[in-house]
Each structure stands twice: as C-alpha cells, then as structure tokens.
Chains A and B, each alone.
Chain A
Amino acid sequence: MNGYGSARVEIMDVSKSFDMGDDRLDVLNDVSLDVARGEFVCLLGPSGCGKSTLLRLIGGLIEPTSGQIRVAGRSPTEAQAEKALGFVFQEPALLPWRTVAANVRLPFEVNRRRGASCERGVERLINLVGLEHYSDYYPRQLSGGMRQRAALARALAVGARVLLMDEPFGSLDEITRAAMRYELLKIWDADSKTVIFVTHSISEAVTLSDRVAVMSSRPGRISGVVDIDLPRPRASGMEREPDFLSYSRTLHDLLLQGGME
C-alpha cells in the first residue's frame, strides 16, 4: 500500500556465538531459512533458543559470526539505510516525550539522506492501526495494546518492506493479545509486508503464520519448518477447528523433541 512492497529475506548458514571471556557461547548454529516476499513466518521456540538473536541479525543490529543474510538481495546494513526494516519489540519502546503522531513521524525524521519524507504517511499509518482519535496523546496516556499499535505504525513508516516483530504482544493481557493478532493480520492484508514474527506461543504461531520455523536451543537451530495451510482471512474462533488443533499438536511435538535432545 505504501508503494514499497515487500522483500525476500534469505538466511544462509548463519551462526552466531558470543565471546564470554575465555568461553564461547554458541547461540545459533547453521541456521538457514528463506522467507518469500509477503510471507508471514513465525520463529517459534522456548526462551534461550536464539530466536530473538536471529531477528536482531536480520535487522542488522548484530553481525553473524559466519554465514550470510540478505534482505531484498542486499545486506541488512544496506536495508537499514533504505529504512526497509520495521522493528517492533516486546516493549513498545515509544519515546515518552513525543505524542503518538510524533512517534510515528520519527522514522521520517532520522536518516534523511534516503527515505522519502512523506508527512501524509503519518496520518495514514495512524488510521491504519486504529489510533486516529489518539494521535495527540502521549504514550503513558494509552493502554498497553494502544501503545503497541503505535509502535506498529512507527515500524510501518517510511519504506518498511520487512516487519521484524519480537514477541510484540508478549506483555499484553490474554484478551488484548488475541485481539491484536487479528488486528495485525488485517493490517498485513492491507499493507502486505514480509513479516518475521518471534513468539513462544503455539496458538499465536498457528493463527498468524504461513509457515512456522520451530527452533530448539543450545545451540539454537531450526529443528523443523511447518506450513500452516489454513484459509485466510483468519478469524476469531478458528482456534477450535480440528485443523488448527492438529497443527498445534504437530508444533507441540516438534518443540518437545527439540527440548528432549
């Protein structure tokens, strides 16, 4: 919708280890994944399996120890410079001294060398996430769910072609969380981006994804990839369908296997 479209993300034989003094901590070992343009992929795994690290690698916030990552055929750093990446974290991480509108405007303001400066975009994005009556509010005046909507609008700003979401609904209550999933799908339908979504919730992964990459820990790797072949648009109530439950069981088994090894 914003004319920037989506981008393919290729992860090729990526490993990441951190030096801890004399020790080396292997966080990711030989991870490969190819995410198609416009695809919605969840990284599902227990805490400590390196799924957030993988997301930060894709986002160019850290460098892989070995292997390569390509976003639309370019390196993550180049993708950053083009503002092709939209991060959403578990905490909304909005700037508390800026209103919702000013927060969404932030990506337009920084790094002006590239990236269009389109002020109308701010209004459109705020409408897209349903905050049109709250653009002059400060983050602390909003509920947790509304803050996360604002963070989503900010991530979609400018040229984002890939959304990188790190347990974005993790700190919300169960009811808001469920509502936000369908809200996100609606936005994704309207503003089709490639989405890579980190979660440890099986039902969240099944609800959202085209594909789920199940990860296991120590060192983190992808232990299986499951296609979620459920019809779209997905709607509340699908959690009780037999297909949904069977996918949940498959993912559950894969997660358990990973944990047992």
Chain B
Amino acid sequence: MIPSERNVEGRALRTGRRRALASALAYSAPPAATLLIGGLAWELWTRLSAVPEYIVPAPSAALGRLASDPAYFAGEGAVTLGEALAGFLLGAGVALMGATLMAHSRFIERSLFPLAILVKVTPVVAVAPLFVIWFGFGPIPKALIAALITFFPVLVNGVTGFRSVDRGALDFMRSLRASRLEIFLKLRVPSAAPFVFAAFRVAVPLSVIGAVVGEWFSGDRGLGSIIIVAHSNLDMPTLFAAILTLSAMGVALTAIVSAVERKALFWHESHEEL
C-alpha cells in the first residue's frame, strides 16, 4: 500500500472512532439526563411534601441504604443472578433441544407443541408454591421457575429459526448429499441464530423475574426475599435498594446479550450500519 493511502485510511479510522464515541454519547446522554432529572424531581418532591418514608422514600435514602451495605446487596444479588442464569441455561437448553426435534419432525411438533403452550399459558406464579413443596427451600425451585418462564420464547423462536433456511442453500446442500447433521450444523444453526438471540433478549430478563418470584415463596436468600422482608417491615429504603439492584442487573444482562449478539450476528442485516 502506498503511504498516502495508509494515511488516509488512518485518518478515516481515527475520525471513525471519534464518530463512534460521539454516537455512543448521543445515544446514552439523553436517557441519562432524563433519569437524572426524574431522580432529582423525585428527591425534591419527597423533601418538600410530607410524604412519609414508609410510603415513598427519597432516592437518596434508597441509594444511601445501598451504599451502607453494598456487600449485602451484591451478595444477595449474586444469589438471585445465579438462580436466574442456571434457570435460563436449563430452560433455553431444553427449549433448543425441543426446537431441534420439532424442526425435523412435524409429528414431534404436533405431539409436543400443545404441551409447550400449556406450560406457557399456566401462570408461573400459580405453580411456584408447588415447586417449593417438591424441591424444598434452596435455589433449585427458583432456578426451575426461571427455567419454566424462559422455555417458551426460546422454543418458539428456535423452531421458527431452524426452519427459516434459505431454500437455495438447502437445495445446494442436498445436491451434495449432505447429511441431516451437516445441514443442521452448517445451515440451520447459523440461520436460526438471529431468531434465537431475539428470544434470549426477552428470556434473560424473564429468568430474573422467575428467580425473584421463586424467592418470594420460600427461602431467605436473594433479592426477592429481601423485598418480601423489607415489605413486611415497611422498610422502604431497603426495598427500593433491592429494586435498584435488580434494575442494574437487568440492564447489565441485556447489555451483555446485545454485545454477544452483535459479535455473533455481524453478518446479519439487523446489524447493518445505517
């Protein structure tokens, strides 16, 4: 490459980076500002009005509670996170296996899909107490509830994804007498990835909901149980601190899924630069 060209490319790269930084700022600054203004207005309102702390605490009180014992909230948050992730892995894993079977056989799909719908339409909250009886007070029932809630979106998108294969590419593989396994690994799995990631983006926050709901019913660990205890004591700052921890966890998990998705689906039109 001639040097002048390299210079031009270098400059393009630098302005590219600067532009990326600017656009990241352009996207994150407005919501951050909104959040800040909202928080300040809330703080002001709780101070000016006579609203008691056991109804609505000031954000400073919630943040103060969080700061007073960060290890406590982080530790219990880690318990909830562990249950949620274990549940997500289990639910998504079973769902993807089911989707693989269903995508290959209409008969299996006809036999299993109605059951999957049954699982979906039954409110998780209704089965949660049962899981406590069956699986005790430890993390297992929580992970199972998280798995149950994660299962359906991943299953549905998995089946659709494994079937959303380019006809020509499929014909080409067949014309080479590729085996079903080869077609699955080289064609169906990558074709399904955009659908599966879309499901993950929904399912990961759902798994946190599942874990928290599970903690409401039994046990003394996790942010869900902090919420229940704080609620019965009318300890609003602690309750809000737990909620804030859960929100932060949700934001972080979503960001991680999005980042992995961007890396994995670089080829897909949903990640085309606008």
Binding site for B on A (CB under 8 A): 56, 59-61, 77, 80-81, 83, 85-87, 89-97, 106-107, 109-111, 138, 140, 154-155, 158, 164
Q: Is B47 interfacial (CB 8 A cutoff)?
A: no
Can you list 8 residue pairs at the A/B interface with Cβ under 8 Å? A56-B171, A77-B177, A83-B176, A89-B172, A93-B169, A110-B176, A111-B176, A140-B267
Q: In the complex, which residue of chain A has the Cβ closest to the Cβ of B264? A: A97
Q: Are A59 and B186 interface neighbours, CB within 8 A?
A: no
Best-surrounded residue of A77, A83, A90, A154 (most CB of chain B within 10 A): A83
- What 9 pairs between A and B have smallest CB-CB spacing? A93-B168, A110-B178, A80-B177, A89-B168, A97-B267, A93-B169, A81-B177, A96-B267, A110-B182
How near does chain B come to A113, taking the closest CB pair, in angstroms?
9
How near does chain B come to A98, taking the closest CB pair, in angstroms?
8
Given known contacts A138-B267, A140-B267, A140-B269, A95 and B187 CB-to-CB distance under 8 angstroms: yes
Taking CB atoms, residues of chain A closer than 8 Å to B186 are 95, 106, 109-110
Q: In the complex, which residue of chain A has the Cβ closest to the Cβ of B168? A: A93
Taking CB atoms, residues of chain A closer than 8 Å to B178 are 110-111
Given known contacts A93-B168, A95-B187, A96-B267, A87 and B182 CB-to-CB distance under 8 angstroms: no
Q: Is B122 interfacial (CB 8 A cutoff)?
A: no
Given known contacts A89-B171, A140-B267, A140-B269, A95 and B190 CB-to-CB distance under 8 angstroms: yes
Binding site for A on B (CB under 8 A): 166-169, 171-179, 182, 186-187, 190, 267-269, 272
Query: Once the chains are docked, how many angstroms separate the CA of A102 from the CA of B176?
Result: 16
Taking CB atoms, residues of chain A closer than 8 Å to B187 are 95
Q: Pick the contact of B177 from A83, A87, A89, A155 — CB < 8 Å?
A: A83
Taking CB atoms, residues of chain B closer than 8 Å to A94 are 169
Taking CB atoms, residues of chain B closer than 8 Å to A111 are 176-179, 182
Q: Are A110 and B168 interface neighbours, CB within 8 A?
A: no
Query: Once the chains are docked, how many angstroms separate the CA of A213 from the CA of B166?
Result: 30
Q: Are A87 and B171 interface neighbours, CB within 8 A?
A: yes
Taking CB atoms, residues of chain A closer than 8 Å to B190 are 95, 97
How near does chain B come to A151, taking the closest CB pair, in angstroms?
9
Q: Are A87 and B175 interface neighbours, CB within 8 A?
A: yes
Q: Are B172 and A60 interface neighbours, CB within 8 A?
A: no
Binding site of A, secondary structure by majority: helix, strand, loop or mixed? Answer: loop
Q: Pick the contact of A87 from B166, B172, B179, B269 — CB < 8 Å?
A: B172
Taking CB atoms, residues of chain A closer than 8 Å to B177 are 77, 80-81, 83, 111
Q: Are A96 and B268 interface neighbours, CB within 8 A?
A: yes
Query: Once the chains are docked, how many angstroms separate the CA of A228 from the CA of B268?
Result: 44
Taking CB atoms, residues of chain B closer than 8 Å to A93 are 166-169, 171-172
Best-surrounded residue of A86, A90, A92, A111 (most CB of chain B within 10 A): A111
Q: Pick the contact of B176 from A97, A107, A138 — CB < 8 Å?
A: A107
Q: In the complex, which residue of chain A has the Cβ closest to the Cβ of B174? A: A61
Query: Once the chains are docked, how many angstroms separate the CA of A26 from the CA of B178?
Result: 30
Q: Pick the contact of A80 from B167, B175, B267, B272 — CB < 8 Å?
A: B175
Given known contacts A106-B186, A110-B186, A138-B267, A91 and B175 CB-to-CB distance under 8 angstroms: no
Query: Once the chains are docked, how many angstroms separate the CA of A95 from the CA of B182?
Result: 14
Query: Once the chains are docked, how many angstroms separate the CA of A90 from the CA of B190?
Result: 22
Taking CB atoms, residues of chain A closer than 8 Å to B269 are 140
Q: Pick the contact of B171 from A61, A83, A110 — CB < 8 Å?
A: A61
How near does chain B come to A71, taking the closest CB pair, in angstroms?
11
How near does chain B come to A20, taking the closest CB pair, in angstroms?
19
Q: In the complex, which residue of chain A has the Cβ closest to the Cβ of B269? A: A140
Query: Once the chains are docked, how many angstroms separate the CA of A92 from the CA of B167?
Result: 11
Q: Are B267 and A91 interface neighbours, CB within 8 A?
A: no
How near does chain B come to A54, taking the closest CB pair, in angstroms?
15
Query: Once the chains are docked, how many angstroms separate the CA of A257 from the CA of B231?
Result: 86
Taking CB atoms, residues of chain B closer than 8 Å to A97 are 190, 267-268
Q: In the complex, which residue of chain B has the Cβ closest to the Cβ of A80? A: B177
Q: Are B182 and A59 interface neighbours, CB within 8 A?
A: no
How near does chain B come to A115, taking the closest CB pair, in angstroms?
8
How near does chain B come to A116, taking the closest CB pair, in angstroms?
13
How near does chain A come to B166, taking the closest CB pair, in angstroms?
6
